[in-house]
Amino acid sequence: MKIVVVNYGAGNVFSVMMALKRLGYEAELSRNSVVINSADKVIFPGVGQASEAMKQLKATGLDQLIPQLKMPVLGICLGMQLMCQDTEEEDTVGLNIFQLSVKKFVGDYKIPHMGWNNIYDLKSPLFEGIESGERMYFVHSYYVPNSEHSIAKCDYSGEFAAAIHKDNFYGCQFHPEKSADFGEKVLSNFLKM
């Protein structure tokens, strides 16, 4: 199985590579369209700032490539948010795979939403072997609202999508690569798709 982690200069790709290594997979890090197109699974990570990340995606043509991919694609954190239509973070236009608008957390809560929170209403083979209520590690200031695409929910000053799915595209707001054993289980479930 060929796993490619999209390398677009943003985010903590190394952690994802290491998590895959712990699971026994050697992944390839690439921004090359030929390499990405030849993958069986693509992971689209992301940590950082949305507008900067989109700039990088545009500069490398990945903004055109990613929405057209046919194999299972997993967007993580900012990666998931960038797969949406747009985000309130610097009013950035996203890849529009999911027709969803990313919102900023507002309210009397600490922001970023940082730490281990429960996920529930799990509705996908991505969560096979994971009980509703298990905790995953989140770090984000913007969120994807719940919709028909939600396959996991989380609550922080209101409910939001902890994971989304449409066709071959999956996204999770939490960091499976940093969510201890249950996070690694999510990654290994994704690799089985």
Partner 1 sequence: MLAKRMILCLDVKDGRTVKGTNFGNLKDAGDIVELAKRYSDEGADELVFLDITASHERRKTMLTWVEQVAEAVNIPFTVGGGISSDLDVSNLLSKGADKVSINTAALIKPALIDTLALCFGRQCIVVAIDARKEDGNWNVYINGGRKKTSYELFSWAKEAESRGAGEILFTSMDHDGTNQGFACEAVARLSEELTIPVIASGGAGKMEDFYDAFTLGKADAALAAGVFHYGKLAIPDVKRYLDSREIEIRI
- Could you list the active site residues? 77, 175, 177
Residue 20, amino acid = L
Contact 82, 57 (CB under 8 A): yes
188 binds partner 1 (CB under 8 A): no
Single out the residue of 167, 7, 3, 170 nearest to residue 75, CA to CA.
170
Residue 50, amino acid = A
Residue 37, amino acid = N
Q: Which of 135, 145, 158, 159 binds partner 1 (CB under 8 A)?
A: 135
**Least distance (Å) from partner 1 to the CB of residue 64?**
25
Site for partner 1 in 81-100 (CB under 8 A): none
Please provide residue 47's backbone torsions phi and psi, each rounded to the nearest 5 degrees.
-140, 140
Nearer to partner 1, 69 or 105 (CB): 105
Q: Which of 104, 112, 123, 129 binds partner 1 (CB under 8 A)?
A: 112
Interface residues with partner 1 (CB under 8 A)? 12, 14-15, 18-19, 21-22, 47-49, 52, 78, 110-118, 135, 137, 139-141, 155-156, 175, 177-181, 183-184
